[in-house]
Amino acid sequence: MAIEIATFGMGCFWGAEHTFRKVNGVVSTVVGYMGGSLEDPTYKDVCTGKTGHAEVVQVFYDPEKVSYEQLLEVFWENHDPTTLNRQGPDVGSQYRSVIFYHTPQQREAALKMKNQLERSGRFGRPIVTEIVPAAKFYRAEEYHQKYLDRH
């Protein structure tokens, strides 16, 4: 079984992780930080909004059971991609809507789906989701891992 990885930022990583853990074909998840400038940031650092990191979930999946496109559908359906640096009550660049792609194929799939959604008018406002290359991932503190499963 060849496991692949996908990385998404869609607001607070607790809810994002909880959502992806329920998807058939997802082998495991881990939450953390990506896309910023500070080496080895802590949750406290990222919460300042000054490090440039987004709260993200890394999704390890079996592509024979779930496709990257299906994971993208989960991403689009479970947050508001039209709000800049905000999801619900969480405000700041760390809560931005972002797809970090790991391969050219992921980039192409993400851009294609974003363009289709924009043309469809489904969201009623412009989509502000960033689609950018994956950067160094920093695992969040242990108490954040599987948080909603434990509380």
Structure tokens at 71: 């994971």
Q: What is the largest CA-CA distance in the chain?
A: 40
Q: Write the DSSP string, 13-46.
A: HHHHHHHHHTSTTEEEEEEEEES-SSSS--HHHH
Q: Alpha helices, DSSP H only, in the chain?
A: 13-21, 43-47, 68-77, 104-120, 147-150
Is position 12 annotated as part of the catalytic site? yes
**Total residue length of the chain:** 151
From the candidates 12, 54, 71, 74, give the one annotated as an active-site residue.
Answer: 12
Q: Taking a C-beta distance cutoff of 8 angstroms, is the pair 29, 20 a contact?
A: yes
Active site residues: 12
